[in-house]
Chain A
Amino acid sequence: GAGVSQSPSNKVTEKGKDVELRCDPISGHTALYWYRQSLGQGLEFLIYFQGNSAPDKSGLPSDRFSAERTGGSVSTLTIQRTQQEDSAVYLCASSLGVGGIGFGQGTRLTVV
């Protein structure tokens, strides 16, 4: 595709349920990032994938959060046992190198 694609655009889930957020990066981009943006806040780094290297998970807020990237392309961010404080916009971004990153449209997660 032309840009980073995320699905779903919006997700409403009940507290305690698991959710999966999907990111399809720009074709050929080796680096993939997940960020979280709470209402009125800045971008919080969650996790970074680069090719076949071990991901940098240093930003994941708890062990309820996990992410994988299959075949060096599509990535899935999973949140288990969702809590209300998980409500935010989850942004995925990708890049080829050091020339900046391009973002998807985000997934707005609401935990009720």
Chain B
Amino acid sequence: QKEVEQNSGPLSVPEGAIASLNCTYSDRGSQSFFWYRQYSGKSPELIMFIYSNGDKEDGRFTAQLNKASQYVSLLIRDSQPSDSATYLCTFSGTYKYIFGTGTRLKVLA
């Protein structure tokens, strides 16, 4: 089993809709969870992090963590064409950040 699993997509949503991105992980000792956004040809940039079970909201983004089920998700409300990118999930149990392969999101205008 891969340490971090994401659906590669592409996930296509119409402009203004909610995009839901999911990630499962295998290490029950993981403490911190992060979502990165990567535009084509650019480096990943950190957009959200979550440590505790439940929801964390930041603007149009909400991260959801369920440690018992070992999944973390990212919701993007009012999706914009500028949100079109690859979204990478990662966690840090000790120090090593293991990344999923990413989900490609396409927001259709």
Interface residues of A (CB under 8 A from B): 31, 33, 35, 41-43, 45, 48, 50, 56, 91, 93, 98-106
Contacts and interface: CB of A to CB of B under 8 A. Distances in A.
A41 B6 CA distance: 12
Interface of B: 31-32, 34, 42-46, 49, 88, 92, 95-102
A27 B102 CA distance: 29
Please give me the 9 A-B residue pairs with the lowest Cβ-Cβ distance, nearest first: A42-B101, A43-B99, A103-B43, A100-B46, A100-B34, A98-B32, A106-B43, A100-B49, A103-B44
B102 A101 contact: no
Contacts of A103: 43-45
Contact of A41 (B42, B92, B96, B101): B101
22 contacts: A35-B99, A41-B101, A42-B88, A42-B100, A42-B101, A43-B44, A43-B99, A45-B96, A48-B95, A56-B95, A56-B96, A91-B43, A98-B31, A98-B92, A100-B32, A100-B46, A100-B97, A101-B46, A102-B46, A103-B44, A104-B43, A105-B43
